[in-house]
């Protein structure tokens, strides 16, 4: 009963605050959108891959495009990026900003400041996400992970019972320095015990993490 009430109130707060923040940041969002479009006439937001959210359903997470158009497909299929793909796989599907040649000039600035994440406020308003929750997962990432850690499916199933968040326990507890296996355990525990006090602490810690780049893979 209490958890149901918590989720209902949290959704109302998500709608209110995401709307207010979208209005507040609208000049910046419009400016960045214009710069991205002028730079190469490509899509403003990342097209793929899709993310998994509430109920394991896939959705498009709005995020400013910081790479060349169709960057993920290019990495997987274009022979030009064969060496980069090999390094990406070896490093747990991650590449630093310095070594990833697909990243654009404006993209490096957006990543350095986390401004590329701001469009997710629209996902929060629409109900795909929450301000605070587990990090949205990629289907291919989870498929590969579960081959190595099949028992982690229990954590993933727990995580899929709530909306993913713009920020969350993973982001303020080390981000990319936390292995995926530990991240799932961490986020599953958050879902099990989630409450407004924990959400408040996470929200208050987020600006510090963004500004200090603590745990960011750069």
- The answer to whether residue 41 scores a pLDDT higher than 90 is no
Task: Note the pLDDT of residue 168.
Answer: 95
CB 164 within 8 A of CB 133: yes
* pTM across the whole model: 0.88
Task: Note the pLDDT of residue 93.
Answer: 75
Task: Note the pLDDT of residue 88.
Answer: 85
pLDDT higher for 41 or 163?
163
CA atoms within 13 A on the CB side of 186: 17
Task: Note the pLDDT of residue 2.
Answer: 78
pLDDT higher for 201 or 210?
201
- pLDDT per position as a tens digit, 160-187: 999 999 999 999 998 888 888 999 999 9
- The answer to whether residue 215 scores a pLDDT higher than 70 is no
DSSP 41-99: S--SB---S-EE-GGG-EE----B--BSTTHHHHHHH-GGGHHHHHHHHHTTS---TTT
d(CA 169, CA 33): 29
Task: Note the pLDDT of residue 217.
Answer: 59
Task: Note the pLDDT of residue 216.
Answer: 65
- The answer to whether residue 61 scores a pLDDT higher than 90 is yes
- pLDDT per position as a tens digit, 104-161: 989 999 988 999 999 999 999 999 999 999 999 888 888 888 988 999 999 999 999 9
Highest mean pLDDT (candidates 32-46, 58-72, 78-92, 117-131): 117-131
Task: Note the pLDDT of residue 63.
Answer: 94
CB count within 10 Å of CB 101 equals 11
Highest mean pLDDT (candidates 26-35, 106-115, 138-147, 204-213): 26-35
């Amino acid at each position: 009963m209490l958890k149901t009430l918590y989720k209902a109130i949290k959704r109302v707060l998500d709608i209110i605050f995401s709307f207010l923040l979208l209005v507040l940041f609208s000049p910046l969002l419009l400016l960045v959108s214009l710069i991205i479009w002028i730079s190469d006439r490509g899509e403003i937001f990342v097209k793929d891959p899709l993310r998994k959210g509430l109920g394991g359903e896939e959705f498009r997470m709005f995020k400013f495009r910081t790479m060349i158009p169709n960057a993920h497909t290019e990495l997987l299929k274009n022979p030009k990026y064969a060496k980069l793909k090999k390094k990406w796989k070896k490093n747990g599907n991650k590449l630093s900003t310095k070594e990833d040649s697909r990243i654009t000039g404006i993209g490096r600035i957006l990543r350095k400041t986390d401004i590329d994440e701001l469009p997710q406020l629209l996902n929060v308003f629409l109900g795909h996400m929450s301000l605070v929750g587990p990090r949205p997962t990629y289907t291919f990432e989870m498929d590969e992970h579960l081959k190595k850690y099949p028992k982690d499916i229990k954590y993933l199933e727990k995580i899929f019972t709530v909306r993913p968040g713009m920020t969350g326990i993973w982001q303020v507890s080390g981000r990319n320095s936390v292995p995926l296996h530990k991240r799932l355990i961490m986020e599953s525990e958050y879902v099990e015990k989630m409450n407004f006090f924990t959400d408040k602490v996470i929200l208050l810690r987020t600006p510090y993490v963004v500004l200090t780049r603590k745990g960011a893979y750069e």
